[in-house]
Amino acid sequence: MAAKLKFPDPLKHTLDKTIVLCPKEEVLKLYKQETGQEAKSLTLKIAKWFDAEARKRGWAGCSLSATTKKNIYAGCSLINKKSIDITLQAICITADE
């Protein structure tokens, strides 16, 4: 039996990594592992599930990352909540100056 795949942890990514790509294959393996449903391609339904799981685990959310081919996705880009907060603070400071 294969080892259980762990969902990416936002605390293990430094603040310079605002966005972290979780490749399609990893998203699909996590989806099957957690839901028991097999999927061959990354769909909007799976991306919405992945986004909800990411938010539960402390990520700001995720974005479905497209390729140059129509309706083909490379994976889900996880958005690091801590770096977003720092970015927003920097924007606010710049806007007030």
Q: What is the pLDDT of residue 81?
A: 78
Q: What is the pLDDT of residue 84?
A: 65
Indicate the helix (H) or strand (E) that contains 77: strand 73-79
* pLDDT band for position 93 (cuts 50, 70, 90): very low
Residue 97: pLDDT above 50? no
Domains of the chain: which residue ranges?
15-96
| pTM of the predicted model as reported, rounded to 2 decimal places | 0.78
Give the model confidence (pLDDT) of 12-60 as tens digits: 876 666 788 999 999 999 999 999 999 999 999 999 999 999 999 999 8
Q: What is the pLDDT of residue 10?
A: 86
Q: Is 37 left (phi over 0), alpha (psi -120 to 50) or beta?
A: beta
